[in-house]
């Protein structure tokens, strides 16, 4: 009886998932496979298989490496700052003045404002283009909202009774936070980190509009620029190869994040 019910339930689940899976397949999987195919041929019209030659060429390219380094720098510099700031603000919102909680949704506004409008303002504020600071700050400003929302939700979802129990057991505030709060929000923090890392790879239009050129200063030349410029030069193979390499990097980061998260859970 249970088995039959399980089969019926599984079938129903699959049917419900089918539209979403089909959409994913059509709009993500199939195009990805196509890009992968293009990265293995010399030209989309001649279609001669060249194996990994395109990959080797791309990895040897100094500008690809420059773009990769700059993209990684955003992860290494901007993402931690983003998460720390988001944590701080979330703490204030969750444990500070309760009235401020209603302002939570206001932090989403940066994500809603058109990038072009933001960049106009940014360019009047930041006139010095000698460093990538304006871009990092813009990235942080745009993405902090979602992190705050997630972290605040995580904070407020912790049951008060646990803290009460800890107090009864003699735990001070420090211990309560380190032994309760941190472990309980860690999955959300990890998720926010992963989300921010993925979003960091999408930093392009802000930078493009800010510098107004296909060739920004070296410090802001990211993978997106590399790909965009190769598209403009009709070099689809370089574009496809770098896109696949980027996806592999993101995939590895996400897998590592998931592994850490699972280990943390256990």
Partner 1 sequence: MKKPLSLILSLICISFSLGGCQGDNGNAMENDDIIVRESFIFDDIELESKGIINSFTIMGDNRAALLFMDNNTQKSCFGIYESNKPVTEKEIAAGYSDICYDKEEGCFYAFNSIEKEIHKMDNSFSYVSTVTKEPEAFEIRGMDVIDGSLYYIYCTKNTYDPNVQLEVLEESTGYCDFGEAAYCVDIGSGEKSPLEIEKPICQYASGGKLYYYTFSGESYYLNEYDRENNRLVSLYTDRDMSYISGFAVHSDTLYYIKWGDSVISKKDMKSGDAFYIPLDIVVCKGSDFKSYKSEPIILNRADMSIRKLSEAKYAESESFKFSGESLVIGYFYKYSMPIDTKKLNEDIGITASVYEYPIYDNEMKLKLLACDSDVDIYIFTTNRRIGRDIRRMGCYEPLANEAIIDELDDCFDWVREYSANDNGEIWCMPISANQQALFYVPENLERLGIDISELKSFESFWAALEKIRMDGRYGFFSRATQEFGEAMTASYNINYSFFDYDTDIFRNMFTRVYSDWLLWSNPAEGSAENPLFNNMNSSKKNISTENAAVIFDNLKLFRNDVTDCEKWCAMGIPNLTDSEEKYPVSIEFAIINPASKKKEAAEAYLGHIAQNRLKYRSTTPFFYKDLSTYDGCVDKSAAYFEGLYELSENSQVYDAFLEIKEDYLDDVAAYQKGEMTIDEYIANIERISEMTENE
Q: Where along the sequence are the contacts to partner 1 (CB under 8 A)?
A: 43-46, 61-64, 212-215, 226, 229-236
Cβ atoms within 10 A of the Cβ of 141, count? 17
CA count, 13 A, side-chain hemisphere, 235: 14
Q: Give whichever of 145 and 216 is closer to partner 1, judged by the CB atom.
A: 216
Q: Give whichever of 38 and 201 is closer to partner 1, judged by the CB atom.
A: 38
Structure-block tokens of residue 82: 């983003």
Structure-block tokens of residue 206: 């802000």
CA count, 13 A, side-chain hemisphere, 131: 8
CA dist., res. 81 & res. 61, Å (int): 30
Give min distance, CB of 9 to partner 1, in A. 42
Give min distance, CB of 261 to partner 1, in A. 37
Q: Give whichever of 50 and 186 is closer to partner 1, judged by the CB atom.
A: 50
CA dist., res. 73 & res. 70, Å (int): 5
Give min distance, CB of 59 to partner 1, in A. 14
Give min distance, CB of 211 to partner 1, in A. 10
Q: Give whichever of 62 and 169 is closer to partner 1, judged by the CB atom.
A: 62
CA dist., res. 143 & res. 198, Å (int): 11
């Amino acid at each position: 009886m249970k088995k039959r019910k399980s089969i019926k339930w599984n079938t129903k689940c699959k049917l419900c998932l089918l539209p979403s899976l089909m959409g994913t397949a059509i709009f993500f999987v199939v195009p990805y496979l196509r890009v992968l195919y293009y990265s293995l041929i010399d030209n989309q019209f001649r279609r001669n298989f060249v194996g990994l030659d395109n990959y080797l060429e791309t990895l040897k390219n100094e500008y690809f490496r420059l773009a990769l380094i700059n993209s990684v720098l955003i992860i290494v510099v901007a993402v931690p700052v983003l998460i720390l700031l988001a944590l701080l603000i979330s703490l204030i919102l969750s444990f500070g003045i309760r009235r401020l909680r209603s302002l939570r949704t206001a932090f989403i506004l940066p994500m809603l404002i058109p990038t072009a409008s933001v960049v106009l303002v940014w360019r009047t504020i930041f006139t010095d283009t000698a460093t990538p600071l304006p871009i990092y700050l813009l990235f942080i400003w745009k993405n902090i909202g979602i992190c705050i929302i997630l972290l605040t939700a995580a904070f407020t979802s912790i049951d008060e009774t646990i803290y009460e129990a800890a107090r009864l057991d003699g735990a001070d505030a420090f211990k309560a936070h380190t032994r309760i709060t941190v472990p309980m929000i860690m999955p959300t923090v990890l998720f926010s980190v992963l989300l921010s890392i993925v979003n960091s790879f999408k930093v392009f239009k802000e930078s493009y509009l800010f510098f107004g050129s296909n060739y920004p200063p070296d410090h802001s030349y990211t993978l997106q620029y590399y790909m965009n410029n190769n598209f403009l030069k009709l070099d689809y193979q370089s574009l496809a190869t770098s896109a696949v390499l980027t996806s592999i990097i993101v995939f590895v980061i996400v897998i590592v994040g998931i592994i850490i998260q699972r280990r943390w859970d256990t």
